[in-house]
Amino acid sequence: MLKNDLEADQMPPRVSKGYKGWYAKNTQKVMEEYRTLARRVAGNIAEGSSVLELGPYPGYLAIELAKLGNYKIVGLDISKTFIDIAQKKANEAGVAIEFRLGNAAHMPFDN
């Protein structure tokens, strides 16, 4: 066993500090920036385009983009918590976005 393995076994379990809930709440304060960015993206892609957002966190950009047009939007995040938050927010906003759990290094999509 490595020294770090022994130390890890002796460490107390990590306590969640609610970071992701804090992040989602505080990020919501800058929604106008997300709306501005969504308008920029929408101005550069055709209606009906497929859009992949990597690391959507709570989904604000994808949601704002979905409100602007008919796009097939997928958000890919490594965090199950953020995927759950983003999907809930998209449902509340009444927009169709698929948020998927996955790693950008090994994307779960066909080429």
pLDDT the model gives residue 6: 43
List CB contacts of 59: < 8 A, sequence separation 6 or more.
75, 82, 85, 86, 87, 89, 90, 97, 99
Look up residue 21 and give its two tokens: 């809930």
* Residue 75 three-state SS: strand
pLDDT at 18: 59
Position 3 scores a pLDDT of 44
pLDDT for 1 = 40
DSSP state of 80: H
pLDDT at 8: 44
The tens place of each residue's pLDDT in the chain, 111 residues long, gives 444 444 444 544 544 555 566 766 777 678 889 999 999 999 999 999 999 999 998 999 999 999 999 999 999 999 999 999 999 999 999 999 999 999 999 988 887
